[in-house]
Structure 1
C-alpha cells in the first residue's frame, strides 16, 4: 500500500471524507515487517495499570506523538549520532506506521506531520480513521530543499468508535497577534456509550527564550476549551500535546491550574503520582545531549479515569546514540493512555 504510486488527496476541509478502500491492520503489519526485516528489533514497551486499576468496558485509547517532520529530520535537526540512512522516508514511514498499528489507538494526536496527504491520511483512512490536519502558517519545513509541504498537527479518530459532533482548527494567538503554532479541537460522541468528549492536539513554540509565548499560546487554547465546554457540564477533555515545556515552566502550570480540572496522565507512572517522567524526548545534536520532558496527555480528572499507561523505555533500551535510530523513527517517544468515562453528572445535559 505505502509503496504504491501517488494517492488521491482530499480537498481542504474534507480530510476525513475520502472514499478509501478498507485495509486490514494485519495486512499493513505484514507489509511493515517485510520492509523492516533488516532493521534491528524495535523497543519493547509494556502497559502499566496505575493503582492496579481493573479492566473497564469500552476504554478509550489515546496516542500522543511528535513523529518528527521528515524535512526537519533530514534537513535541519542535525541528529549527529543517527545515521542518515535511518532517516530515509522510504523506511521511516513504516516504523511510524508499525508503532501506530502496535497500539491501535482510538484517538491519535500527532505533531510535526509533513506527509499528511500522501501518507497518513490515505494510510490511516484505509484503516477506518477520520483525519483532520492543520498546517503551520509558516512551517520551518518550507525552508528545506525538496520538502513535502508544511508540517502541522493532525487528529485522527476511529470511525467505528466515534461520531464527530464538532470540529475546529485554530491558529493560536499570543499577546494580541497570531503565532505560528496551531491546534485541532473536536467533540466526539462514543458510539458504545453515547458519551461525548472533547479532544485537542497542539504543538507549542520550541526553544529556550520563548517561555512567555508558550504560556500565551497555552492560555489561548485553554480559553477555547473553556468556551467549548460551556453549556456542556461534565464534558470530559483530552489534550495531547508537545508543549515544548518542562513541568516547571509557566505553560505547564497554566494547564494544571486552568479551572478545567485537568491533570497529566503520565504522572501516574511515578511512585507518588506527582512527578512527570524523566524524559519524553532524548537526542544528541552538535550542541550536546538533550533529554527533556516536553510531551503530555492532559485529561479531565472529574470525567475520566486512567486505566493503563504505556511505560517509557529505559536508557539502555533507547541506546547510547539516543533518538531517532534504526529501531525508532522519532526523537520523541509516543505516549499511550487508556481512559474510561466516570459516571456523568446529574442534570438535563449529561454531556
Structure 2
C-alpha cells in the first residue's frame, strides 16, 4: 500500500472509531485531523498536499508544508473568486458547521447560474429533461405543506474520471475540472433542490461545501476509509458521500455517520443519516445517502451492506417515534444512493421488502408503476459498454407521496459516446423528485 493511502486510511479509521463511540455522531471534519506519528516517511509532501486539499491543519515532520484552503480553480468567475478570498481568510481550525453559518458571503443563485452558463458557452447544452407527474399522485388536499425537492446524484469523482475509470469515448478535455464543476453546479442550480444527496465527491471542502453554504445549505461529508482516488497522482483527497439540506426549510436534529458492515466486519462503504425538522410543517424527515460496493462479483457484499444500513435506519426511526410520526406509525424516510445494483439483485429486494415500508420513486415513471428506468448510468470503457440501473430514491410510501420526477434522457439525447461527455459531467444521471408529507387519515 502506498504511504499516502495508508495515512488517509489511518485518519479515516481513527475518525470512525471515535464516531462509533457516540450515540449521536457528528460528521467528521478533516479540519481537526492530526497526522498520525506512524506516517513519518519520505514523500510526506504528498500527504501534506492531500490534507491541504481537505483543509486540514497539520505539519508533516521533516518537511515544509504550508497548509491553506484550496483555491476554487477558475479565476474567471467573480463570484467564485470572491468566495475563494473569503475562504482563505477563515481560520483553518474552524469547524464545518461554523463555516456554514458565518464568515461566508451569500451567493445569488441566479447570477451563479448565469456564470455557469457563460463558463460553459463553448460546450453543447445539457440534455433537456422534463418533470413528469404520476397519474396516481396524491391530491393536494391530502398533503401537508409544499413539496420537498430531492436530488440524488453520483457526480463522478474527479480523480477517478481523469485517472482510473477509463472512459475511452470521453476526451480528457471534457473532464477538465475547471469547466466540469460548472456543469455539476448548473444541474443543481437549475432545479434548486431542498435536499441534495451526492456520491463520489472529492471536491467537497474546496468547492461544494463553500458554494452550497453560500447558497443557504448546510452540508455534511463522509469519506470512504480507503478511497481509490488516493491511488491517482495529483488527487484532491478521498471521495465520499455528501448530504446538503436547505437551512430555510429544515433544521437539524441528528446526524449519524455510518461505516457499513458486512458479516460483522467493517467495509469501505459509508452512509450519512440525518433527522431533519421541517420548518413549514413541523414534521420530521429522516434522510440517508449511501454508495454501495461496485462491480460484479460483489453482490453478497452489497446485500450485507444494504441490510446493515436498513437495520441502522430501523433503529434510528424507532428512537425518534413520537408526535411527529405519520399515519401507519412510520417515520417519513428518504434513502438516496448509488447502490451499484440492478433491480434483480438481492440488495434491491431487501430495500423493497424492508419493514420500513420503502418504495422506489422512479418506478412511477413506468406505465405500470412497477418497473425501474432502463438505465441511470451509461458508459463505455475498454471492457465494453455498460448500460445499467444502479441509482435510486427510496421513500416511505404510506407517509410520503411523490408529486413529480425528472425524466430520463433518451439514447439520442445521451449520444453515441455515452457518459460522461462535453454536455454531461458524470457517468451517472441525476435523479430528482418532489415529495410531500401525506395528511394523516
Normalising TM by the smaller chain, what interval?
over 0.9
Query: Which has a greater percent of strand?
Result: 1
CA contact (8 A) 1:202 1:241 kept: yes
Q: Distance in 2 between matches of 1:179 and 1:11?
A: 30
Instruction: Kindly indicate whether residue 174 of structure 2 is the aligned counterpart of residue 86 of structure 1.
Output: yes
Correspondence for 1:213: 301
Q: 1:175 to 1:326 in 2, by over 3 A?
A: same
Moved more, 11-20 or 81-90: 11-20
> How many Å apart are 1:102 and its aligned residue?
0.6
Gaps of 5+ in 2: 1-78, 322-328
CA contact (8 A) 1:15 1:133 kept: no
Correspondence for 2:235: 147
Correspondence for 1:349: none
Q: Distance in 1 between matches of 2:424 and 2:93?
A: 31
> How many Å apart are 1:187 and its aligned residue?
0.3
> How many Å apart are 1:11 and its aligned residue?
7.0
Q: Distance in 1 between matches of 2:390 and 2:91?
A: 32
Correspondence for 2:416: 320
* Alignment counterpart, residue 301 of structure 1, candidates 364, 389, 397: 397
Q: Distance in 1 between matches of 2:163 and 2:351?
A: 33
Correspondence for 2:97: 16
Give CA-to-partner distance per residue, 1:23-62, whole Å, 9 cap, x none.
1101111110111111111111000000163566410110
Query: Which has a greater percent of helix?
Result: 2
Please identify runs of 4+ aligned residues in structure 1 that moved more than 6 A.
9-13
Correspondence for 1:191: 279
Correspondence for 2:362: 266
| Aligned pairs, number | 345
Q: Which has the higher contact order (CA 8 A, sep 6+)?
A: 1
Give CA-to-partner distance per residue, 1:110-161, whole Å, 9 cap, x none.
0000000000000111000000000000000000000000000000000000
Q: Distance in 2 between matches of 1:2 and 1:289?
A: 37
CA contact (8 A) 2:330 2:356 kept: no
Structure 1 or 2, whichever has the larger Rg, is 2
Q: Distance in 1 between matches of 2:91 and 2:416?
A: 42
Q: 1:319 to 1:3 in 2, by over 3 A?
A: farther
Q: Distance in 1 between matches of 2:93 and 2:363?
A: 38
Relative to the length of structure 1, the TM-score reads 0.95
* Alignment counterpart, residue 212 of structure 2, candidates 124, 128, 131: 124
Gaps of 5+ in 1: 346-351
Q: Distance in 2 between matches of 1:95 and 1:253?
A: 34
Q: Distance in 1 between matches of 2:91 and 2:386?
A: 38
Correspondence for 2:135: 51
Q: Distance in 2 between matches of 1:320 and 1:2?
A: 34
Q: Distance in 2 between matches of 1:50 and 1:192?
A: 24
Correspondence for 2:246: 158
Q: 1:52 to 1:86 in 2, by over 3 A?
A: same
